Chain A
């Protein structure tokens, strides 16, 4: 501490000469001491020999003149902007928006932590807190810890549900009571009873009357908002076991709060459950002074919007992506402009090209001409089935005693899928238009060509179009007496949370899964065994992709999405589908680490385990960079003592001319290891 003994207040200013390094500008000196050396204004005053008021004025002046620029982390700034907009737009008392930081924490965890922070600020001694059960609400309860509160009562807001989930009403209320050291009051009845009469009778019971009286005293309520989506908690609640969701959908219900249905304007939707539900009514909930809703996930946007419009929420805790969705859905189309943090890119001169150059003739002929070339180039491995190039069969593939393996999908991912047709891998491939599933007919032709009486296995990526066309083809094949089993690849761990693993899309991990399936088929395994091992391979395959620049469709020759000059998209799919987070460009090792951390969060491989690694280019990323990524992947795996049994580095599953790469890890076991090493001979993959 310098100058502690020097005279303090009241002295006339006697400036110390400015050290050379600060030039002759006292503002720079003051700023340096304040922002870089972290000194207090008082200490700076002493060091500079001026008054504190002058230091303060210098600092203010420096900000005004742009000597100091204060920047907030863009993700935090964006979420703050969203929170302000939501608060203003819906007249909320307050709003907390969790940044979309692309961390590997699940959304529910992030909301739980944010909700816990909010509860700490909002709860006071003497409060009565009503708790509506739900997955997110339980996460909030578990992340809340408030010490020093007295006389808090926590009351369950609805009756109980069957213990099929770990977020029953009593557990949710207990979590909060535990967090605040308060008294817990239950509602000693089921949330849903079998008739309105029983509900009336139960509510007249003195015990329940007393419990509802406590509920009526609540001055705070915390609740989640459920959508009516297939994956929402409402389906686990038992609410919909006795009546059809159709009744409610037909009345335009979009969400559920505390077991009560609301429409898109937030109005209650009457239905068969209304009189049979024991719990807080929507009117009673609305009458509670502080109503804290914690909800996120864009499938919930219509439900949250309805809750906001209906006035059920006074404090909202949500995440940035959902917040943006809510504002857009309510007609605030300009919200994205408000979120732009960086100055707009300079306008390009008129002479700048608007089309990507491509080697094509007529855009309409791209697929046919590509296939004609591929069939000619890979004559040794593949041949057209019938006259069309849309269905191709391995020359040395189908044979008696072996299950047939049929793969396929849209074009634009070459060498997927036709490059993996040949002995030891796929027997036939159906080819669609760019990024579009083939129709059932060529798939059926493939099934016929691959079938030698022991059944046919379909393996393809999990996309709505592919699923429908392959399913139709499977039905037709079954009618012809060909037994078909299907395994959907779902290796893209960024495309959906782990709870929804079956909803994930299939990406570069396809190639590992094809390899395993092809080997099992080649070894003459039964259809059941081939299916089972393929399913296991898929379950143990984890892929994360990162896109740097868009690709362009041959029909449009324009970039298929926009991405900023210094941005990347983590988790982007192989058709340019948005990923989990758009972030600033980072170094190769930082990007690899982010990708590997996501994989490690799900893969249970430990010391001594063996994996296969695929570092895949989306096309425009050169091998030079893939090797840099592979180097870091290898470092991360070896630091965990995980052995790399096989590595494939190159363009294995591409996305037109996109710049970017994906990392796939297949967690091997002995059987998968030997299947991966089983010989195969295709245009793009040779083993043994």
Chain B
């Protein structure tokens, strides 16, 4: 039945929005150290717009891929800047990946495919790499951890524990990196010692994903 996976995703976006609201000030503060101090605000505006658009969907006729497509467009038009195209492309790719799998229920394999598509979408759009001190330092290792867990057939809870652990380690590692992409690249050495705000918000998103997918 089509609605199950879509419902999980909509719940996921609600949880993401909630955690971003809670962490808004911390994210903006992180950004203030190396950027223009609006990351928390930008993410909050983006996910509020996503939830607004998702509220208009008829869930019984919605596939998981549709949810992600709608989210991509809503996020992009609300945000612009650089976060907009990055997450919009990520969600578009994730939608494509789920559509290709004809995914309905969104089990761990589908979740892993989604994370992989998000990571590669952000990578292609931003032309970035691991080690650039960006959200990719969280998304790439998290996607790899998810793929490994899915290949091993881990239970969802164990898989997501591992994904979150990897994600947090990736975010922590951004402290010793020098930004070469995005606005933070312009402050160069002044970015050292600070966690990248995009990496921090990526961990928040992954945490919300775990809560959405592991709630029994």
CB distance from A595 to the nearest CB of B (A): 19
Q: Are B176 and A299 in contact (CB under 8 A)?
A: no
Q: Which of A315-371 contact B (CB under 8 A)?
A: 321-322, 324-325, 328-331, 333
Q: In the docked arrangement, what's the CA distance between A438 and B36, Å?
A: 16
CB distance from B109 to the nearest CB of A (A): 22
Of the listed stretches B13-21, B96-104, B122-130, B199-207, chain A binds: B122-130
In this complex, what residue of A is CB-closest to B130? A249
Q: In the docked arrangement, what's the CA distance between A325 and B190, Å?
A: 7
Chain A residues whose CB sits within 8 angstroms of the CB of B86 once the complex forms: 468
In this complex, what residue of A is CB-closest to B85? A468
CB distance from B140 to the nearest CB of A (A): 9
Q: Are A228 and B131 in contact (CB under 8 A)?
A: yes
**B82 is contacted by which of A245, A330, A437, A573 (Cβ under 8 Å)?**
A437
Produce 1/0 per residue, A283-303, CB < 8 A to B: 000000000000000110110
Of the listed stretches A212-220, A392-400, A428-436, A541-549, chain B binds: A428-436
Q: Are A465 and B178 in contact (CB under 8 A)?
A: no
Produce 1/0 per residue, B171-208, CB < 8 A to A: 00101111011110111111011000000000000000
Q: In the docked arrangement, what's the CA distance between A555 and B28, Å?
A: 13
Of the listed stretches B73-81, B111-119, B149-157, chain A binds: B73-81
Chain A residues whose CB sits within 8 angstroms of the CB of B126 once the complex forms: 464, 468
Check if A515 is an interface residue, CB within 8 A of chain B: no
Chain B residues whose CB sits within 8 angstroms of the CB of A437 once the complex forms: 80-82
Chain B residues whose CB sits within 8 angstroms of the CB of A598 once the complex forms: none
Q: In the docked arrangement, what's the CA distance between A131 and B178, Å?
A: 28
Q: Give the B interface residue count (CB, 8 A).
A: 40
Q: In the docked arrangement, what's the CA distance between A229 and B41, Å?
A: 30
Produce 1/0 per residue, A667-679, CB < 8 A to B: 0000000000000
In this complex, what residue of A is CB-closest to B175? A329
Chain A residues whose CB sits within 8 angstroms of the CB of B181 once the complex forms: 464
Q: Are A573 and B183 in contact (CB under 8 A)?
A: no
Q: Are A298 and B38 in contact (CB under 8 A)?
A: no
Q: In the docked arrangement, what's the CA distance between A245 and B125, Å?
A: 19
Q: Are A468 and B190 in contact (CB under 8 A)?
A: no
Check if A305 is an interface residue, CB within 8 A of chain B: yes
Q: Are B77 and A435 in contact (CB under 8 A)?
A: no
Chain B residues whose CB sits within 8 angstroms of the CB of A229 once the complex forms: 180
CB distance from A613 to the nearest CB of B (A): 26
Check if A33 is an interface residue, CB within 8 A of chain B: no
Chain B residues whose CB sits within 8 angstroms of the CB of A578 once the complex forms: 186-188, 190
Q: Are B193 and A298 in contact (CB under 8 A)?
A: no
Check if A226 is an interface residue, CB within 8 A of chain B: no
Check if B84 is an interface residue, CB within 8 A of chain A: yes
Chain B residues whose CB sits within 8 angstroms of the CB of A325 once the complex forms: 178, 188-189, 192
**B186 is contacted by which of A228, A305, A432, A495 (Cβ under 8 Å)?**
A495
> Among the interface residues A230, A433, A464, A553, which one has the most CB atoms of the partner chain B within 10 A?
A464
Q: Give the A interface residue count (CB, 8 A).
A: 49
Chain A residues whose CB sits within 8 angstroms of the CB of B178 once the complex forms: 298-299, 301-302, 325, 329
Q: In the docked arrangement, what's the CA distance between A228 and B177, Å?
A: 12
Q: In the docked arrangement, what's the CA distance between A437 and B175, Å?
A: 26
**B131 is contacted by which of A254, A324, A435, A469 (Cβ under 8 Å)?**
A254
Chain A residues whose CB sits within 8 angstroms of the CB of B82 once the complex forms: 437, 464-465, 468
Check if B37 is an interface residue, CB within 8 A of chain A: yes
Q: Are A331 and B193 in contact (CB under 8 A)?
A: yes
Chain A residues whose CB sits within 8 angstroms of the CB of B187 once the complex forms: 577-578
Check if A264 is an interface residue, CB within 8 A of chain B: yes
Check if A178 is an interface residue, CB within 8 A of chain B: no
Q: In the docked arrangement, what's the CA distance between A472 and B181, Å?
A: 18
Q: In the docked arrangement, what's the CA distance between A229 and B42, Å?
A: 28
CB distance from A571 to the nearest CB of B (A): 11
Given contacts A333-B193, A437-B81, A464-B126, is CB(A264)–CB(B176) below 8 Å? yes
**B38 is contacted by which of A228, A254, A302, A555 (Cβ under 8 Å)?**
A555
Q: Are A439 and B186 in contact (CB under 8 A)?
A: no
| New contact pairs (14) apart from A465-B85, A468-B85, CB-CB < 8 Å | A245-B129, A264-B176, A435-B36, A436-B42, A437-B81, A439-B80, A439-B84, A441-B76, A464-B82, A464-B182, A468-B126, A472-B88, A495-B186, A577-B186
- 12 A-B residue pairings within 8 Å (CB atoms): A298-B192, A301-B189, A329-B192, A329-B193, A437-B81, A437-B82, A463-B183, A464-B181, A465-B81, A556-B37, A560-B36, A578-B188
Residues of A near any B CB (own CB < 8 A): 228-230, 245, 249-250, 252, 254, 264, 298-299, 301-302, 305, 321-322, 324-325, 328-331, 333, 432-433, 435-441, 463-465, 468-469, 471-472, 495, 505, 553, 555-556, 560, 573, 575, 577-578
Residues of B near any A CB (own CB < 8 A): 36-38, 41-42, 76-82, 84-86, 88-89, 125-126, 129-131, 144, 173, 175-178, 180-183, 185-190, 192-193
What are the 7 A-B residue pairs with the smallest beta carbon separation, nearest first?
A: A325-B189, A465-B82, A439-B80, A468-B85, A577-B186, A436-B81, A298-B189
